Amino acid sequence: MLRERKLEQDKNGALMIPIEDLEDIPAPQYPLIPPMTEYFFDGTNDVAIFPPPITVAWTRRADCPFWVTPNTCDVPPLKSTALRLHFQPPHPNGLYAVELEAFAFYKVCGGTRDRGRWILCPGA
């Protein structure tokens, strides 16, 4: 490795990694992306097509001033749905922040023998 100049020796004979001169290395060129595009477009495709409708279930803590109605709703394939966000502050003139959480799942038939039996599967 000394012959290949991957390692150097100091005056005491200890091996060390050679120090590279960073001025000789050109700075990496990054593409110019508008800030809003970079923030909202993360490169993933969030559209998923499911044959059955997706069921969305919203969670709620008892002490939380925010909640969504209806608690559960079915969203048909390639469609959207409207939900209502409610806010009831326990104290006036305050700042409130919370993360809302929902679980999406769909029903899948258990097999050809069990026509009436459905299995709940998590969303992709």
What pLDDT does 47 receive? Answer: 59
- Among the residues of the chain, which ranges form H helices? 35-40
Structure tokens belonging to residue 111: 């097999």
Can you tell me whether residue 19 is helix, strand or coil?
Answer: coil
Q: pLDDT, tens digit, for every residue of 64-94?
A: 899 999 999 988 877 888 999 999 898 888 8
Q: pTM value?
A: 0.48
Listed by start position, the domains of the chain span 54-122
Assign 115 a pLDDT band (cuts: 50, 70, 90).
low
Q: Give the closest residue to 56 by CA, choosing from 87, 89, 79.
A: 79
Q: pLDDT, tens digit, for every residue of 14-59?
A: 888 877 766 677 777 888 888 887 777 766 655 555 567 788 899 8
What pLDDT does 84 receive? Answer: 94
